[in-house]
């Protein structure tokens, strides 16, 4: 049963071929048997999941079930879950049990999903390898000596290893797309404001966006139908109608113009990854699309701009963890200042501390104009670069990452090498655009992700292209060797 897609599971449940309790138990058994190898979950909610599954079965029998009734999913441990520990993979929140659900969690609950548990991630979503987690690194199901990507590495690994049919993720600079690429699954980072950020622990508020991670575009569309939409409790949430993301999946790609930015195919791109991407693009051409060479102006500014803005916002967001209100508190503080310094010093890991230092520096009175203000100006240029491309083409395509999954520990002590991993994903967040990563081949026996970037609120188009590609190819069907045993 664990090989079924969400769409197939939903059909099976409605046709009473199996119950949600059976389905849920099946995944819980797999997690218990296999997750020791991957460390993709921080918390497993077996009892609660079975109770939710029984309720879903009752609703299905009564005929008043939601669209995703009885479908087990996992949530990244950055989404607040009422009564269930939400750690953000930090010692700081190791003891934090939220009194409410994030809007994403509420909506997926209302649709009838069953929560299997909370997935591992980089601490406070800062990282590209899932090695900064307080709960230990996650391993890539394709090769356990490699990283799954980050920061939503637990969600990606769990879906790839068939420990959950789908999971939520968040993407501030690539954290849905990059792990999706490295684990061979499908991930969608929606337009900024499309999915509510309420109850999603803040990293960089002007960049953070939640989205679905699953095995296919069709499944991502089903999840988006529930996740997307206006939330009066999130002031940056977009007041725009939500289309039926499943309705347009099969549309023809005839006449579609796909832009290939030369900046995404230059030096630094692994040759085997490039080969897989070109083959995938040729497939899209066969499906009716026209490939257009374009230039994405200012894409070289993405890394420096992001690594000023994201730490700046992080440093202010993380000031709330002070050892007083909630979260970790040091032992026997001598006075208030000692309480603050030691609680924060002991509660945050190295990467989080590094971001706070960089961010505080960039925002300080003497350097604000030189760094933060400059970065805001560069951000505008990056957005204008995309605007110019979208006058010529409908979507932009290229690799999601410069290469396949790298070895555990390979970049851990070299922050700059780690930051370069995001070279193709960051600009999208700075411009607030939607983007996807879909499995598009193998390099070095590990998955390669094709990235599709769309105009604001054009998620339906991205899902359509991804679905057509997945109807014509089977890269998304590949199972990690031994991983889905
Ligand atoms: N890897 C990037 C960072 O470390 C992006 C993380 C994310 O999208 N949450 O900031």
For the residues of 338-390, what is the DSSP string, one character each?
A: HHHHHHHHHHS-HHHHHHHHHHHHHHSTTTTIIIIIHHHHHHHHHHHHHHHHH
Average the pLDDT over 109-136 and give the result: 98
Contacts of 125 by beta carbon, 8 Å cutoff, 6+ apart: 78, 88, 151, 152, 170, 172, 175, 201, 203, 208
For residue 331, the model assigns a pLDDT of 97
Ligand 1 centre and the CA of 47: distance in Å? 33
Give pLDDT, residue 194.
98
Position in ligand 1 atom list of the atom nearest CA 152: 9
CA atoms within 13 Å, Cβ hemisphere of 215: 25
pLDDT band at 373 (very low <50, low <70, confident <90, very high): very high
Give dist(CA 5, CA 221) in Å, integer. 12
Contact 184, 62 (CB under 8 A): no
Q: How far apart are the first and last CA of the chain?
A: 12
Kindly list the catalytic residues.
76, 151, 175
pLDDT exceeds 80 at position 43? yes
- Reported as a single tens digit per residue, the pLDDT across 11-23 is 999 999 999 999 9
Read off the tokens for 455: 């105009």
- Alpha carbon nearest to ligand 1 atom 5, residue: 173
Burial class (CB in 10 A: 0-12, 13-18, 19+), 205: middle
Distance from residue 412's CA to the centre of ligand 1 (Å): 14
Domains in the chain, ordered, with CATH?
A: 6-256+456-477 (3.90.1300.10)
Mutation test residue for ligand 1: of 76, 125, 425, the one with most atoms within 8 Å of CB: 125
Whether pLDDT at 417 is above 90: no
In this predicted model, what pLDDT tens digit does every residue of 138-183 receive, in sequence order? 999 999 999 999 999 999 999 999 999 999 999 999 999 999 999 9
CA of 422 to the centre of ligand 1 (A): 8
Q: What is the DSSP annotation of 159-224? A: HHTTS-SEEEEE-SSSTTHHHHHHHT-EEEEPPTTTB--TTB--SSTTT--EEEEESSHHHHHHHH
HSE, CB side, 13 Å, CA atoms: give it for residue 192: 18
* Per-residue pLDDT reduced to its tens digit, 322-336: 999 999 999 999 999
Q: Which two tokens stand for residue 355?
A: 């971001």
Dist. CA 485–CA 468, nearest whole Å: 29
How buried is residue 335: exposed, middle or buried, by Cβ count under 10 Å (0-12/13-18/19+)?
exposed
Q: What are phi and psi of 114, to 5 degrees?
A: -110, 130
**What's the CA-to-centroid distance between 297 and ligand 1, angstroms?**
22
At residue 483 the predicted structure's pLDDT band, cuts being 50, 70 and 90, is: low
Give the Å distance between the CA of 233 and the centre of ligand 1: 25
Mutation probe of ligand 1 site: the residue of 120, 122, 123, 126 with most atoms within 8 A of C-beta? 126
CB-neighbour burial class of residue 290 (10 A; exposed 0-12, middle 13-18, buried 19+): middle
| Any ligand 1 atom below 6 A from CB of 172 | yes
pLDDT average, residue stretch 276-287: 98
Mean pLDDT, to the nearest integer, of 345-363? 97
425 Cβ closer than 6 Å to some ligand 1 atom = no
Tokens of 7: 């769409």
Q: Residue 482 has what pLDDT?
A: 67
Does the pLDDT value for residue 352 go beyond 60? Answer: yes
**What confidence tens digit (pLDDT) does each residue in 285-343 have?**
999 999 999 999 999 999 999 999 999 999 999 999 999 999 999 999 999 999 999 99
| Single pTM value for the model | 0.98
Indicate if the pLDDT at residue 415 is higher than 90. no
Q: Which of 336, 402, 395 is nearest to 174 (CA)?
A: 402
Q: Whose CA is nearest to atom 10 of ligand 1?
A: 126
Name the residue of 77, 122, 352, 429 whose CB sits within 8 Å of the most ligand 1 atoms, as the mutation to test its pocket.
Answer: 122
Task: Give me the mean pLDDT over the 59-87 stretch.
Answer: 97
| % of the chain with per-residue pLDDT over 90 | 96
Interval 222-259: pLDDT, tens: 999 999 999 999 999 999 999 999 999 999 999 999 99
Report the distance separating Cα 456 and Cα 471, nearest Å: 25
Strands 435-443 and 186-189: what pairing? antiparallel
Q: How far is CA 100 from the centre of its chain?
A: 22
- Give the Å distances, CA to CA, from 268 to 146, 403, 424, 446: 20, 9, 11, 18
Mean of the per-residue pLDDT values for the chain?
Answer: 97
Q: Is the pLDDT of residue 278 over 80?
A: yes
pLDDT class for 416, splitting at 50, 70, 90?
confident
Q: Which atom of ligand 1 is nearest to the CA of 355?
A: 10
């Amino acid at each position: 049963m664990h090989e079924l897609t969400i769409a197939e599971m939903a059909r099976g449940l409605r046709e009473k071929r199996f119950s949600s309790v059976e389905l849920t138990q099946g995944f819980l058994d797999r997690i218990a048997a296999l997750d020791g190898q991957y460390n993709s979950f921080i918390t497993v909610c077996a009892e609660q999941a079975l109770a939710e599954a029984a309720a879903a079965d009752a609703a299905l029998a009564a005929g008043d079930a939601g669209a995703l009734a009885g479908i087990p999913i996992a949530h990244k441990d950055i989404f607040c879950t009422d009564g269930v520990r939400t750690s953000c993979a930090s010692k700081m929140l190791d003891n934090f049990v939220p009194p409410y659900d994030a809007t994403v969690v509420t909506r997926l609950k209302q649709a009838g999903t069953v929560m299997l548990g909370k997935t591992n991630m980089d601490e406070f979503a800062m990282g590209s390898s899932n090695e900064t987690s307080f709960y230990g690194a996650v391993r890539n199901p394709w090769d356990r000596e490699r990283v799954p990507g980050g920061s939503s590495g637990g969600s990606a690994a769990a879906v790839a290893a068939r420990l959950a049919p789908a999971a939520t993720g968040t993407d501030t600079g690539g954290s849905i797309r990059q792990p999706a690429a490295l684990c061979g699954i499908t991930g969608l980072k929606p337009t900024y404001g499309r999915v509510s950020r309420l109850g999603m622990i803040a990293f960089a508020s002007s960049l953070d966006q939640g989205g679905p991670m699953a095995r296919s575009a069709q499944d991502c569309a089903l999840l988006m139908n529930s996740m997307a939409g206006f939330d009066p409790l999130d002031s940056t949430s977009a007041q725009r109608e939500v289309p039926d993301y499943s309705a347009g999946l099969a549309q023809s790609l005839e006449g579609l113009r796909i832009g290939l930015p030369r900046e995404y195919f230059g030096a630094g791109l692994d040759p085997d990854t490039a080969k897989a991407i070109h083959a995938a693009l040729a497939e899209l051409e066969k499906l009716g699309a026209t490939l257009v060479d374009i230039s994405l102006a200012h894409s070289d500014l993405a890394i420096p701009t992001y690594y000023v803005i994201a730490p700046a916002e992080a440093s202010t967001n993380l000031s709330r963890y002070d050892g007083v209100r909630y979260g970790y508190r040091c032992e026997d503080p001598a006075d208030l200042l000692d309480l603050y310094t030691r609680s924060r010093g002991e509660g945050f890991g190295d990467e989080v501390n590094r971001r706070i230092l960089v961010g505080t520096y960039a925002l300080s009175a003497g350097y604000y104009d030189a760094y933060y203000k400059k970065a805001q100006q560069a951000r505008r240029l990056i957005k204008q670069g995309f605007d110019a491309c979208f006058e010529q083409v409908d979507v932009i395509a290229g690799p999601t990452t410069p290469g396949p999954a790298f070895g555990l520990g390979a970049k851990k002590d070299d922050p700059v090498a780690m930051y370069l991993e995001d070279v193709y994903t960051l600009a999208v967040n700075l411009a607030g655009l939607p983007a996807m990563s879909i499995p598009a081949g193998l390099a070095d026996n590990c998955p390669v992700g094709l990235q599709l970037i769309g105009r604001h609120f054009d998620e339906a188009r991205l899902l359509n292209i991804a679905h057509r590609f997945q109807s014509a190819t089977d890269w998304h069907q590949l199972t990690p060797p031994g991983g889905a045993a």
